[in-house]
Amino acid sequence: MSEYKMWIGGKWIGAESGKTYPVFNPANGMEIAQLPLGGKADVDKAVDAARKAFPIWSKKPQSERSQVAMKIASLLRENAKELGMIDTLDHGTPVKTAAATVAGKAVNFEWAAYNARSLMGHTVPQSPNELAYLQHEPIGVVALITPWNFPLSMILVKLAPALTLGNTCIIKPPSIDSLAALKLAELLEKLELPPGTINVITGPGSTVGESLASHRGVDMVSFTGSCETGKQIMALASQTVKRLHLELGGKNPVIILEDADINTAANAMAARQFSNAGQICACPGRFYVHEKVYDEFLEKFTAATQKLVVGDPGDEKTDMGPLVSAEHRDRVEGYIRSGLDEGAKIVMGGQKPTALPMKNGYFVMPMIFTNATQKMKIAREEIFGPVAVFMEKFNSDAKVIEMANDSTFGLCSYIWTRDMARGMRFANEIAVGTVWLSNALTLAPELPWTGYKESGIGEENSLYGLLEYTNLKRVHVDLTLTK
């Protein structure tokens, strides 16, 4: 077992308190590391370092910062296997996908590198005697507060635009899954950036996260996580009117129309539902299936679910590993109990494995509920686990759209039909940031990712996302003045 340090101001240091906390392998419950228990004093140090680095980093030519981003892309590809193994160890990401997920984020740095170099300002034709022009400037010190569901990737999608555009960054990774962030800092150390350009602090959200969100020296918080925490961060950040970017939860409606390709839809949606053990913001949250194809879809979805290999995430054959922690497993089990208490029916799954080695890990077997109704907790709240929730059958387009929109969330939706005009009418009516029409998850740095309603504020990725990390300045020049 190793003891780790935090990366602050270009140095590896322990927590000011001298304390550490344990992290565990979710596949077997064994302690794997002790991490520094960062707190307010460590946040003060990191903010101080990041503020000192800002005038140096932000004044580098964009071409130079873009070259750094390109080098980070190469480092990610070269080290994807090792970084992926760390996600497998402390998060339970199956090795089958772990390295490719990390390597896939290299593109975000390349994309940011190219696009930051062509991020042009504008001139405004206000008056013949005056030039008014607009320019994008980095914001300052940005705190990146990220969740555990993709421990490294969630950091990388924020770090790519924030750093490339000239901001200095304080990464606050999820306390239980911080090892990959520390490994990333070790790789970035080789780039010899001005000390404090990138900092990593480990520790709980209630101390490190809150100190960052309320700190006067932090100019922006870019947060991905739960709605509950997002609201707390908004309240804390309001004290200093910080720029906020929030990517929050979802309870995403899947609508299967009677003319859909049922086979393709069932297989794609089962893969999406149980990927990362359901711990994905874009995970299907509620299945609405037309009465004419309900039985066929459920049967095929169940068959696809039964084929999933659940087990040791370190095994190449495994499709689904454990949940991230004992605490989170208990939370998911609480939702399962609530579904049963409120009258939903179990088609399959939901049990804890009883045999070793899975017995000691935080596993919940893939589960399917049917007969859920709009008012049930399992239909309203984000379960964030391997639990598919089938709502009662529907037979009216207008009614299903109303039910799909009856949610505080508005992240994304999957609509399956062969009639694209009908599908596009659904896409227009459903209040979410992303709609997949007869298609499943596609993410790319050039495509925006955003939430409606309580699913978030601002865009991740795309040119819109790049601009989130800039201030827009307007400059007026009087052309009549001569020396």
| Residue 296 appears among annotated catalytic residues | no
CB 246 within 8 A of CB 458: yes
Rounded Cα–Cα distance for residues 171 and 164 (Å):
15
Q: Does 249 bind ligand NAD (CB under 6 A)?
A: yes
Nearer to ligand NAD, 166 or 445 (CB): 445
Q: Residue 252's beta-bridge partner residues? A: 284
Instruction: Return the H-helix or E-strand segment holding 21.
Output: strand 20-24
Check: CB of residue 303 under 8 Å from CB of residue 334.
Answer: no
Positions 162 through 181 that interact with ligand NAD (CB under 6 A): 172, 174-175
CB of 81 to ligand NAD, least distance (A): 23
With CB under 6 A as the contact rule, the residue among 24, 54, 109, 148 that binds ligand NAD is 148
Residue with tokens 């129309």: 257
Q: Which one is catalytic: 281, 283, 382, 460?
A: 281
Q: What is the largest CA-CA distance in the chain?
A: 86
If one asks whether residue 247 binds ligand NAD (CB under 6 A), the answer comes out as yes
For the beta sheet containing 470-478, the strands, ordered from the edge strand earlier in sequence to the opposite edge, are: 122-127, 130-138, 470-478
Angle (CA) 44 155 414, round 5°: 140
User: Per-residue x/- mask for ligand NAD, residues 71 to 110, rule CB under 6 A?
Assistant: ----------------------------------------
- Cβ at position 347, least distance to ligand NAD in Å: 24
- Identify which of residues 62 and 226 has a Cβ nearer to ligand NAD in the complex: 226
Binding mask 426-465 for ligand NAD (x = CB under 6 A): -----------------------x-x----x---------
The one-letter code for the residue type at 69 is: A
How many residues lie near ligand NAD (CB under 6 A)? 32
Rounded Cα–Cα distance for residues 342 and 335 (Å)? 10
Contact with ligand NAD (CB under 6 A): which of 39, 147, 285, 386?
147
| Helix, strand counts (H, E) of the chain | 16, 23
Least distance in Å: CB of 21 to ligand NAD? 12
Catalytic option among 247, 382, 454, 459 = 247
Least distance CB 208 / ligand NAD (angstroms): 7
- With 0-12 / 13-18 / 19 or more C-beta atoms within 10 angstroms meaning exposed / middle / buried, residue 235 is exposed
382 contributes a contact to ligand NAD by CB under 6 A: yes
Q: Tell which one of 39, 104, 151, 205 touches ligand NAD (CB under 6 A).
A: 205
**Which residues sit opposite 168 in a β-bridge?**
141
Residue among 414, 445, 21, 450 nearest 201 (CA): 21
- What is the distance between the alpha carbons of residues 240 and 263, in angstroms, rounded to a whole number? 52
Which window, 83-91, 219-227, 291-299, 360-368, contacts ligand NAD (CB under 6 A)? 219-227
CB nearer to ligand NAD: pick between 206 and 374 = 206
Between CA 110 and CA 130 the distance in angstroms is 38
Q: Is 281 a catalytic residue?
A: yes
Q: Which residues between 307 and 366 bind ligand NAD (CB under 6 A)?
A: none
Distance of closest approach, residue 308 Cβ to ligand NAD, in angstroms:
21
Taking the complex as a whole, the smallest distance from the CB of residue 430 to ligand NAD amounts, in Å, to 16
Q: Of 138, 161, 225, 458, which lies in the binding site for ligand NAD, with binding defined by CB under 6 A?
A: 225
**Could you give the angle at the alpha carbon of 446 between the alpha carbons of 260 and 432, nearest 5°?**
45
The reply to whether 151 sits near ligand NAD by the rule CB under 6 A is no
**Burial grade of 356 (CB within 10 A; 0-12, 13-18, 19 or more):** exposed
Tell me phi and psi for residue 452, to 5 degrees. Answer: -90, 170
Rounded to whole angstroms, the Cα distance separating 457 from 179 reads 28
Tokens of 240: 């200093």
**Residue 272 engages ligand NAD in binding (rule: CB under 6 A):** no
Does residue number 403 form part of the binding site for ligand NAD (CB under 6 A)? no
Q: Does 159 bind ligand NAD (CB under 6 A)?
A: no
Q: Which residues bind ligand NAD (CB under 6 A)?
A: 145-149, 154, 172, 174-175, 204-206, 209-210, 213, 224-226, 229, 232-233, 247-250, 281, 382, 384, 411, 449, 451, 456
Query: Known catalytic residues?
Result: 247, 281
